[in-house]
Structures are given as structure tokens and as C-alpha cells.
Amino acid sequence: MDTKRTPFGDAAVISVDAFVNKLLPPLHSHIPLDALFSGAKMSANSLPVTKRGYLHGYATKHKPSKITSAFKPLQMCAGKIAKAFAPLESTLVFKNNEDAQWLLRDRTEDSLPDAYFLSKSEGGGRVDWTTIAVPGVYNKIDTATLSDHNVTKITRCMFQCLHRDARRRFVYGFTVDDSRMRLWFCDRSQIVVSDSFLFVTDWKPFFQFWVRVMYADPRDLGFDLTVRLLEDDATEPRYEIEVRSSAEEVQVYRTLEVLSQGGQNTVGGAARVWKAVKVENGEEVGEPVALKDSWVWEDRKREGHVDSSIRASCADDEQKAALGKSLLTVLAHGDVLIDGATDRTRAAVTPPKASGKVPDSLGRDPVTQPYDRSRIHYRIVYKEVCEPLRSTSSLYTVFKTLSDACHGLEVLYKCGWVHRDISVGNLLLFGDFAKIRGLEYAERVDDIAKRPHAVVLLKSSRVAISSFRDASLGESAAAGSRQPHKEDESSDKRITRAKRKTPSSPRDESAPPQLRDFHYNALHDLESLWWIAAYYLIAHEVDSDEDLDEEASRNRSSQLITARKLFLDGSARDDAISGMFSFRIQLECLAPSLRDVGSRVEDARARLMTAYQDAERELRVDGLRLKDPIHSILSNCFHEIAEMLKDHDIIVRPLDATVDRCGAHLS
């Protein structure tokens, strides 16, 4: 399968015919396009093609003098199409952007496309990312460099369509390089582009695209009709969103403000969270709630179902109360339905490829696994309206939250579960106690223990995968295999693909034989919390306007090098958690006010490694039950730091934007 590199990952390249037949909206039943193609005489009421077989407005040698006039014929063609099929009303109208920033270097994230199909039913002529249905970009000269610029421009535009309008499920686009065109498609699981074609003379696929999108039903253009855009004066788009808990039970919520919006990519979970209020008979009722909209892997359990299973595992009312303090309260949840069917991403447009021979999720012999999986559109409503941990710059708040999270994970563990997806984005601020979210990857401890070769971990695999998952999560055993996006793959999936390379301590002859595979356990959840502590300590600096002296400037440079090794390339993560990196020595590059905090974070690391070493020596397989109260030990470590900062808080800011984006991708 050919691919084309884009800023948002590789796009699958397919033939023009495959794109038209597999991806484009269906042709309107009242449009006889095939009859026109088959030789109908060209006239004022037919397709705009000259007698010599060229697209109307283009000469044999298409060499316009100015880019602003080079593609005016495309807008004229759209007008002739609308005239040819009158009185049938089109859904979209095509326009060129007279104020376009043609050069890539001149564009910003707010730059609109060079051309666009606009929705005729809304916006009142307004042009923004909520009215642009299909973006297009141009280059006057067909060169490899400018063609690559067009790829960047169109994928950024498609991203903006998906990112800025919560109604968008997928999006089409097109690029024009002189007289050659490519068609584009993107949803939350894939980016697809057609081969280029000479649209000036090979105009059949051009008309297939133009006519199909102009007269398409909004649902076939990627709009979600269970979401209604409110036309008001709010500074950000507001919506009324349906949440369907069952076929009969549908609730409507009106968004008030955006709480978080992840997914800085076209492909991925794209979780959005709003503060919202329930609507009945057009009126707002009840207290504000949190509404989350996301795209989850079809083979994952839904978060609402996992939440119910965890609560049912509580042994008594005391555990239920403790769990309720740490977890969010689910009010409603369900898959999104479009025309009565579950809303999912398109099937892969190319035949499934094997991702290589890797151990399966049960740790059994390697099997051939297809790379393509669909995503399901899912919504869940929580009672509590929280703030994400990333919203704070207070180290007191950070360590208070980490201490609370240790308590929450301990209760979860006592109920027989591990979380498996601890990250900055899954820790929330609510009142005087932190909340944990993101339960879709949570799993029963006993279910893990039943798997062949399920053991407590153990030693780092020497390959780091992502910043806030533990350092034991290794890369695939199959070199060159296709990996899911890091934000979407649970830690357990990465663990089952990891190779254990070296033991953490010498093994005596009486120890059980080394096992090839291992699975997620409670220590990994706690290690993820430690990495969050390290992230706020190493990848941040004291927020101050004072100029740095020469020594402080050198220390900051050293700190930045360490931060990049830990949170960008991961080259030092294994040694940092194991102690070989000498984490305590690296703390000397911190500002003096942070060094005491750093020393206590190092103590927490040492306690965690002791728990790892104890577990590894015993190689316990009895349900992966931990004997030592490590949750309480780490909670106390973080609590002591918070108490130290309570009356002398330290406000921090990101040390480097690039390093900080690492944390943003994981939220």
C-alpha cells in the first residue's frame, strides 16, 4: 500500500476509482451523471466541458499568469453545475477565497482554505470552520515541494474542520497542483488520498466529486444531526447534543463552555468535554454537568459499563463511599446512533495488513493481527464538573492531587481492579479531593492473573513509549509493525508486546524460570503517578520575571536537556526510574526552591523501586496481589510534599513548549 506523509500521520493512497466508489457520498437519485458521461451532447444545461474535451475555462496549456485567477474556472464550473441540475437545490455552494494566504509560510492555524464548499442552510453567508463543509487548497505550479506544501495545507484545514466544529464526524477535501487534482478523506481512524489526475481533461472524477458533495445529504458530508449548532453571540460554538442511553431514552444537553479538548490530531479519540445543562421542552433544567464526546475503539468496553462493574465489585458500603469519592458519577452514557445504526468510522479502504507476529493480548503464541480497527462514537455524562490537572500551575495542588489519586487507586485495587491509563488528563480537580477518570482500559486483577505468564513486573524493558505511562512499556517485538497512536493504546497492549531484557537484580537458582511476557499491574498505575510528579518538577520552572544569572542559566540549560531525555525521546527514562540515571544528582540543576521537593520525589521513587524489587524476587502469580501498602506509602510521600508547600506554594510554568506538548498529547 502506498502512503503519503502528512503532518498528522501517513495517508493511504488509493486509486481515483476506489476513492469515488468507496468514499464519496452517494450520487443524488435525480442527477443523471452517468448519462451525461456516456455521450450526451454538451449544452447550456449539461456539464461545463468544451467541444475539444477540456474543462470549461481551461486552455490546452494551462498556464495562468496569477494564482488569484488561475482557479476561477472552478467556481464558474460549480455555477454551471447548479444551472444544469436546476431546479434541484444543492446542499453546498462553492467559492474561492479571495483573501487566501497562498504560501505555506504565510499561513496560521486561523487561515481559511484557498477554496471551500459552504453550507447554504446556515451561517447566513458567514465563512468560518462551522460553515466550511469541504476545504480545498491550490498551487499554480506542480512541483514536488509545492505539492508537499499543499498536503500540509489541506490536512491542517481538515483538522480544523474536525477540531473546531463538534458536529463533524469526517471531512472531505481536495488539492490542486496546477492542472492535477487529488481527493482527500479523513475520519477518526484514517486519512485517505486519491492518486492525482489531470482534471482539466480527465474531468469525470472531477465531476463525480463536485456533484456528489454539492448535492449530498449533510450526514453523508460528515455532519452529526444529533448535534445542533446554536446560533447565538457566544465567543465559542455552543451546541445542543443528544445522549442516548438506550433506544427509548434520549436526553438533550446544552453546552455552556468547553472544559477540555484533546486530540491534536485528525486521527484519534478526539475527546471533548463541556460544561453543559440538561434541556427539557427547550428550557434548561437542573445543575450543570460534564458531557464528554469521544471516539473509542470498537473492541473496548465503554467507560460507563466499566464504572458499573467496578462499583458492583465493592465489598461493603465503606468501599462504595470511598470509591464514590475518587471516581466520577455517571448520569448517562451510550453510543451515538446515526439513522438508527451505531456511528463508527469507515472500514479501512485498503485490504487489512498484518502488523507482524506479536504475542496476543493473553500472552499466548504470536499471531498475525490486522492493523485496522473501527472507532465508535460515544458520549457520557458526569454529575461532577471538574477542572483538569493541567489547568493548575500550583505545585501544592499537583502533589495534593497525586496523594488523593494514590488513595483512589488503592480503593480501586481493593475492589479488585487496576486503572491502566493514568495520565495528566485523567486526573481532575474537584472541590477538596481529586477525581480519577478514563476507566475504559480498567481491568480486573483476577482476569489478568488468569492469563498465561501473567506476572508482576518487574524490570524496565529499556524502551520508553510515552511520558506518563511507566517505563516498562516497551516497543513492539515485531520490527516495522504498524502501531496505534500513543494516545489511544492502553498500557497493557504495549506491555504484551514488550520483551523483558534484563532482571532488576541477580536471580538465584531456586527462583522460577524467567517468563517471556508480563501484564499490567497496580505498580504501573503508581509509577505513572510518579512520572507525573517528575514531569511537573523537571519539565517546569519557577514562574518568575527575574533575569537569570550565569549559574542559573547553565542550570536551566542542563534541566532542559534532562527534560528532553525524559519526556521527548525517552532515552533516560529507564535509568531514571531504576536509579541508574542518578535522579538525585539531576535535581541539582533545579532552582533552589525546588530542590527539597525534588529530594522527596526521589524518596518516592526509591520506595516504588523497592516494591518492584520485592515483587520481582517473589514473581508472585497469585492474582498479582501486593503485600506491602505501597499505595499508602506513596500517598504519604506526596502528602508530605503538599503539606510542605501548603503555606509556601510554588507556581511553575512549562520549561519548554516542545516538552510541554508531550504532556498535552497525553491529556
Radius of gyration in angstroms for the set of CA atoms belonging to the chain, rounded to a whole number: 28
Q: Which residue has the higher pLDDT, 527 or 459?
A: 527
Using CA atoms, how far apart are residues 661 and 162, in angstroms rounded to an integer?
Answer: 20
pLDDT band for position 144 (cuts 50, 70, 90): confident
Q: What integer pLDDT is reported at residue 116 of this predicted model?
A: 95
**pLDDT at position 214 over 60:** yes
Q: What integer pLDDT is reported at residue 479 of this predicted model?
A: 27
Q: Which of 135-149, 189-203, 277-291, 411-425 has the lowest mean pLDDT?
A: 135-149
Residue type, 558: S
**pLDDT at position 131 over 90:** yes
On whether the CB atoms of residues 107 and 137 are closer than 8 A, the answer is no
**pLDDT at position 221 over 80:** yes
Helix intervals (H) in 579-629: 583-586, 592-618
**pLDDT at position 516 over 50:** no
> Residue 140: CB partners within 8 Å, gap ≥ 6?
64, 67, 70, 178
Q: What integer pLDDT is reported at residue 20 of this predicted model?
A: 95
pLDDT band for position 546 (cuts 50, 70, 90): confident
Q: Which of 21-35, 454-468, 601-615 has the lowest mean pLDDT?
A: 454-468
pLDDT in tens, 627-649: 667 899 999 999 999 999 999 99
pLDDT band for position 248 (cuts 50, 70, 90): confident
pLDDT band for position 453 (cuts 50, 70, 90): very low
Residues facing residue 434 across a β-bridge:
429
pLDDT in tens, 92-106: 999 999 888 878 888
Residue type, 197: F
**pLDDT at position 513 over 90:** no
Q: Which of 107-111, 122-126, 185-189, 400-404 has the lowest mean pLDDT?
A: 122-126
Using CA atoms, how far apart are residues 174 and 289, in angstroms rounded to an integer?
Answer: 39
pLDDT band for position 456 (cuts 50, 70, 90): very low
Using CA atoms, how far apart are residues 661 and 667, in angstroms rounded to an integer?
Answer: 10
Nearest by Cα to 180 from 222, 140, 132:
140
* Mean pLDDT, residues 403-424: 93
Q: What integer pLDDT is reported at residue 234 of this predicted model?
A: 74
Q: What integer pLDDT is reported at residue 247 of this predicted model?
A: 67
pLDDT in tens, 343-352: 999 987 765 4
Residue type, 475: E
Give DSSP secondary structure letters for 175-227: EEETTEEEEEEE-SS-EEEEPPEETTT--HHHHHHHHHHHT--GGGGTB-TTE
pLDDT band for position 356 (cuts 50, 70, 90): very low
> Helix or strand or coil: residue 546?
coil
> In percent, how much of the chain has pLDDT > 90?
48
**pLDDT at position 48 over 70:** yes
pLDDT in tens, 425-451: 899 999 889 999 999 899 988 877 666
pLDDT band for position 123 (cuts 50, 70, 90): low
Q: What integer pLDDT is reported at residue 462 of this predicted model?
A: 29
Q: Dihedral of CA 479/481/486/489: which sign?
A: negative
* Mean pLDDT, residues 158-186: 94
> Helix or strand or coil: residue 64?
coil
* Mean pLDDT, residues 536-544: 91
Neighbour tally for 417: CB within 10 Å: 25
Looking at mean pLDDT, say which of 208-212, 452-456, 503-507 comes out highest.
Answer: 208-212
Q: Which residue has the higher pLDDT, 661 or 472?
A: 661
**pLDDT at position 405 over 90:** yes
Q: Which residue has the higher pLDDT, 500 or 68?
A: 68
* 171-177 vs 132-139, strand pairing mode: parallel
Q: Which of 28-32, 190-194, 533-537 has the lowest mean pLDDT?
A: 28-32
Q: What is the largest distance, in Å, between two alpha-carbon atoms of the chain?
A: 90
Q: What integer pLDDT is reported at residue 502 of this predicted model?
A: 32
Q: Which residue has the higher pLDDT, 455 or 343?
A: 343
Q: Which residue has the higher pLDDT, 80 or 239?
A: 239
Q: Which of 5-14, 281-290, 335-344, 505-514 has the lowest mean pLDDT?
A: 505-514
Mean pLDDT of the chain: 80
Phi/psi of residue 539, nearest 5 degrees: -90, 10
Query: Which 8-state DSSP code applies to residue 12?
Result: E
Nearest by Cα to 55 from 36, 76, 27, 33:
76
**pLDDT at position 494 over 90:** no
Spell out the long-range contacts of 204-207 with Cβ–Cβ below 8 A and sequence spacing 24 or more. Answer: 204/37, 205/16, 205/17, 205/19, 205/20, 205/181, 206/55, 206/181, 207/33, 207/37, 207/47, 207/81
Given 3-state DSSP classes, what are the helix, strand and coil percentages for the chain, each rounded to the nearest 5? 35, 25, 40
pLDDT in tens, 554-565: 988 998 888 888
C-alpha cell at 336: 451515538
pLDDT in tens, 289-331: 999 999 999 988 999 999 999 999 998 999 999 999 999 999 9
Using CA atoms, how far apart are residues 282 and 663, in angstroms rounded to an integer?
Answer: 39
Q: What integer pLDDT is reported at residue 15 of this predicted model?
A: 95
**pLDDT at position 213 over 90:** yes
On whether the CB atoms of residues 639 and 406 are closer than 8 A, the answer is no
Q: What integer pLDDT is reported at residue 467 of this predicted model?
A: 46
C-alpha cell at 103: 504560501
Q: What integer pLDDT is reported at residue 355 of this predicted model?
A: 40
Q: What integer pLDDT is reported at residue 626 of this predicted model?
A: 62
